[in-house]
Amino acid sequence: MEDSYVRICDADGCDLGENKVGYIHISGKNVTAGYFNNKKATERVIDQDGWLNTEDLGFLKEGRLTVTGRAKDILFVHGQNYYAHDIERVAEQLPDIGMGEAVAVGASAADNSSDEILLFIRHKGGPTGFGRRALMIKEYIYEKMGIRVAHVLPVATVYKTTSGKVQRFKYREEYVRGTYDALKQEVIAQWDDFMEQREIIPPATDTEVSLSDIWRDIFALDQISVGDDFYLLGGDSLKAARMISRIREVFGVEIDHSRVFGNPTLRQQADFIDSRTEALPAGVQDRIAPAEQNNEDKPLSFAQQRIWFLDQLNGSSPQYNLCRGIRITGSLRVDILEECLNRLMDRHRILKTTFHETAGIPMQRYEKDLRLTVSRIAGIYDVGPRRAAPAGG
């Protein structure tokens, strides 16, 4: 298109260049001059240079634009970003949910640490008996995506614009205002009734008994069945971390989050713990042996491999380097500062680890004798606090 320009920016409007996901900004003769009679809204999306923030997300690669989603539709949950439409498409795979009848939104959790995922389902007939259906939807989404939906609520209609776009923000606003509080409590009450009526299969082995005690403490429940599902009981990443720590203390076995995800019921977790303890010699706990402190090359972890790949793709981008300036007042002993930093590196071996390729394979190496030297940079001086220009100056 003639006289049309695109760039990718961060939340502050700074150009990110290529191969980085950010906000899509456009400019040119084809771009609107702003909202009609709404100066505030115009200033929010169009900067002084005429760049309009579309609030869509995407990245540029070799001059080609790829759109990854809508910023407003991103749900931030426990450090992970999810797209609302991805959750909706999975819910719509269920036979009794039609296309466009599921709406996923995020609302701040009670502790404001992240969003809770809410799913509104177009449902005829009122909330009576919906609790069981809500449970099935939660279970299906968790099975397919590994995401825990906080609440599934029935609604009579789906809010849409005249052009057919779902107005997710309306559900979020109504939820925050408390419009759905009574409905939410009714669905929760139905779930509580189901929990009370579910079949309780008591633990049969010593491992199941001990693990049942851990679960009762974490979920504050009087009864736990060996068929209960950790996530359907309300488990999340924080509860999983508590359980993993308790399992380590009680059984001497390491179990990571992926094992919790793959073995969600109490019986499955007990079987996994037994399989790990049986494979160990008597009196030996399952601990990760630290690597030898030598200069031999060692393979990267999966997470390190992922970051290595992105670094190679972006041409040694500094996006993972965090720089910060610190002003220190008073007398500074550079030799003591240098010694403190080197002792810190001795304590945390990853700070003495370098990364390189060997025969095309990324490897890491612990540089035992590596030392940090603090250098003085000449010509740097303190200009003091900035002062406002005098009036009329």
Q: Which pLDDT score, from 0 to 100, does residue 393 have?
A: 41
**Which two tokens mark 171?**
């559900």
Distance of CA 113 to the CA centre of its chain: 11
CA distance 74 to 106: 8
Buried b (16+ CB within 10 A) or exposed e, 155-186: beebeeeeeeebebeebbebbeeeebeebbeb
261 Cβ contact list (under 8 Å, min separation 6) = 146
- Count the helix, strand and coil residues of the chain and give each as a percent rounded to the nearest 5: 35, 20, 45
Q: Which pLDDT score, from 0 to 100, does residue 388 have?
A: 44
Q: Which pLDDT score, from 0 to 100, does residue 179 have?
A: 92
Q: Which pLDDT score, from 0 to 100, does residue 389 have?
A: 42
Half-sphere exposure of 348 (CA within 13 A, CB side): 7
Tell me the angle at which helices 84-91 and 130-145 cross, rounded to the nearest 10 degrees: 120
Q: Which pLDDT score, from 0 to 100, does residue 391 have?
A: 45
Domains and CATH numbers, the chain: 4-62 (2.30.38.10), 73-197 (3.30.300.30), 206-278 (1.10.1200.10), 290-314+331-374 (no CATH)
AA identity, residue 383: V
Q: Which pLDDT score, from 0 to 100, does residue 392 have?
A: 45
Q: Residue with structure tokens 């972006």? A: 314
CA distance 308 to 298: 14
Nearest to 125 by CA among 160, 95, 154: 154
Mean pLDDT by 10 residues, the chain (393 residues): 83 86 87 80 82 86 83 70 86 90 83 75 84 84 83 91 84 91 88 78 93 92 88 77 88 82 88 76 53 77 77 68 79 91 91 87 89 79 48 44
H-only helix segments in 314-368 = 334-347
Nearest to 104 by CA among 116, 94, 112, 96: 116
